[in-house]
Structure 1
Amino acid sequence: MTIEQLKDSLLVRGPEDSSPWNHQKRLLLVNNLGILVNQLYTVGIDEIFIDGYFVANPYTLPDIVRELNKTDPYKVWTWDWSSRIYDRNSAKPQLPLWHRYKVELYPHVGQGCGILDENGNEQMFPATFRKTRDTFLPKGIIKIIK
């Protein structure tokens, strides 16, 4: 999906029945995601998945991060644990990216993610996002396209 298609999708609009749905909050998140996606595009990253990761080359990732922070006015592109700030709403430390945009994107460079599967094995990023974390049921993810 493109960002515009995502904005007009059921994921943002919500169901047509009268169930509670926070359309405005979801639209804000997609708009924020759009900002980050555009920043990633400017540094040559085009494999971006809305469930939280993008594909990068491990050898050029430091340069990519440096360039991303040149494009972002808040300099939020980091995954360093020491940069995390406690968030009382989630009751855990969160990345600057999350504090500013309420969106998390992690680089996938072929590494494990620290999240275990139903058999206790560490998963790679793509596998992690294709299952629910509590029941391990398969789920879809969406790739952002230009």
Structure 2
Amino acid sequence: MRFNEYGLLEPGDYPLTFEQLRESILVKGEGNSLLPWDGYWRSRLVENLEICVKQLWACGVEEIYIDGSFCTDKYQPNDIDGYFIPPDPKAVFNGKLIEQLNRLDPHKCWGWDRNRFDAYGNLQLEMWHRYRVELYPHCKGVYSGVKNGQGQNMKFDEFFRRDRDFDMVKGIVKLMKG
């Protein structure tokens, strides 16, 4: 795994356990880089991510992908973004998955309504306020609400594999049980 000249992971899926993630360039940085790197902050983000992912695993979710600025060469990413594929999409739509997850989470932060502002006036998920992690369900026929350069609404698995301008395909991490 390495960053390309644009600071993105080379295209592809990178299956990593949490142990491997902690030892990867995403947390430790590249040894030959002259740029500063906030490995401490990145480690804290991974700790928070692991809490959320273990809750998903406990609910039967197996496929979880992360990216965002965390998967770039940015000195200090704001958060970790990602998506997961629920084993039963109906449980997303009828609220049962959120109920299950919130029974596991002491902060009851699962849900996908952005209803609290951050310091910059952006609406964020409760999960983001508590963990600085945003994980969205990806179900067949559900779109991200983000449009690509051609004005088409993208699916989460498309959206997360593109750079901010949707010009380039980038790599993404698939989290694996250890």
The residue type equivalent to 1:54 in the other structure is F
The equivalent position to 1:136 in structure 2, one of 167, 171, 175, is 167
- Name the CA shift for 1:95/1:34 in 2 (closer, same or farther; >3 Å): same
Aligned to 2:154: 123
Aligned to 2:132: 102
Partner of 2:171: helix, strand, or coil? coil
Please tell me whether residue 14 in structure 1 is matched to residue 44 in structure 2.
no
Q: Using the alignment, how far apart are the partners of 2:127 and 2:148 within structure 1?
A: 26
- Name the CA shift for 1:38/1:119 in 2 (closer, same or farther; >3 Å): same
Q: Unaligned stretches of 5+ in structure 2? A: 1-15, 68-81
Aligned to 2:41: 25
Q: Unaligned stretches of 5+ in structure 1? A: none
TM-score by length of 1: 0.93
Asked if the contact 2:49/2:133 (under 8 Å) is kept, the reply is yes
The residue type equivalent to 1:131 in the other structure is R
Aligned to 1:88: 119
Q: What root-mean-square deviation, in Å, do the aligned CA atoms of Structure 1 and Structure 2 show?
A: 1.2
Aligned to 1:59: 90
Question: For 1:46-80, what per-residue CA distance to the aligned partner results, in whole angstroms no more than 9, with x for missing partners?
Answer: 11001210011321222111010000000000112
Number of residue pairs matched?
143
Please tell me whether residue 79 in structure 1 is matched to residue 112 in structure 2.
yes
The equivalent position to 1:35 in structure 2, one of 24, 48, 51, is 51
Q: Using the alignment, how far apart are the partners of 2:133 and 2:166 within structure 1?
A: 23
1:124 deviates by 0.5
- Runs of 4+ with deviation above 3 angstroms: none
Report sequence identity in percent: 43
Asked if the contact 2:148/2:166 (under 8 Å) is kept, the reply is no
Partner of 1:29: helix, strand, or coil? helix
Aligned to 2:63: 47
Q: Using the alignment, how far apart are the partners of 2:166 and 2:109 within structure 1?
A: 32
